[in-house]
Structure 1
């Protein structure tokens, strides 16, 4: 029988408890960054021009199976972001003319961005607080990629599966 005041002795003074290992896993998980997601997902970004019609933009989104595109100017710099939600708002405001409008007419120009070093939990916070589902990752002047809320969820599920496997291995020995 083990006394309430004494911890059992397993012969290894440096042995960590399961709760310490879980805590270490949580701390390690909090170090994950936007770059970790992009390393799995890829750095490709689909973009359109400000003068492209909404009809063309929707065709591009459909072709790539995505919910947002970056809008780049003639120099390749980000001018804005255009999402499915922006297009739906356009149809609500001007149902008969939206397909003829341009990306510049409907895009969001005050874009919230991240850097490759932005922690995953910060990405989730920004997306939740801003109520948006896509965030461009900018590395200096270079567009490093685009992360969706789905990418973050997929990444976190993979992390959780890995953590569960490591815990099972630790318990089994």
Structure 2
């Protein structure tokens, strides 16, 4: 028995002999999606702190903004480091006394891995996974222009895969 969506061919259906098969470039096109595409939907808002701010101030900002990391910038907006919830928790595990009064500079990661808007999302995801970090600042010409999380990248890729699956289903069904 034929599926409910099946329609028998009619006389004019066979006129177009062109096929629309997949190619290597069409199959790999999503792997070339740049970071800038993700930022278009997410926006370029970045919450930052200064190296001399206290951890107490940072914890309040993380809670208020519902985020997991803050970039550390100087007065000119140049990237100096990044401070995540994980950095704070590690310090708490080592030494809980007086942590809230410590400066950001004492706990921040100063050797920050960054990406550019033109970097492919799949490359960024790979670097984040291998480096075991969840936040990556986006920099262009030494200027901070956004921040992405591993969740942002995974969600974007899931939407791409869902869209590709829908397109294939439409090609099959007609």
Secondary structure of 1:30 counterpart: helix
* Separation in 2, partners of 1:166, 1:24: 16
Superposed CA deviations along residues 83-135 of structure 1, whole A, max 9, x for unmatched, are 01110111112111111111111000000000001101101110011110010
Q: Which residue of 2 aligns with 1:15?
A: 19
Runs of 4+ in 1 over 6 A off after TM superposition: none
Aligned residue pairs, count? 161
Q: Is the 8 A contact 1:52 1:103 kept in 2?
A: yes
Cα shift at 1:153: 1.0
Give the equivalent residue in structure 2 for 1:51: 52
Which residue is 1:166 aligned to? 167
Once residues 158 and 75 of structure 2 are traced to their aligned partners in structure 1, the CA distance between those partners, rounded to angstroms, is: 38
Matched with 2:105 is 104
Q: RMSD of the TM alignment (CA)?
A: 1.5
C-alpha contact (below 8 Å) 1:115/1:139 kept by paired residues = yes
The answer as to whether partners of 1:25 and 1:163 remain within 8 angstroms in 2 is no
TM-score (norm 1): 0.87
Q: Displacement of 1:28 after TM fit?
A: 1.2
Aligned to 1:36: 37
Structure 1: any 5+ residue segments left out of the alignment? 1-9
Q: Which runs of 5+ in 2 are unaligned?
A: 1-13
Distance in 2 (CA, whole Å) between partners of 1:101 and 1:42 is 31
Give the TM-score taking structure 2 as reference length: 0.87
Partner Cα distance (1:25, 1:136) in 2: 29
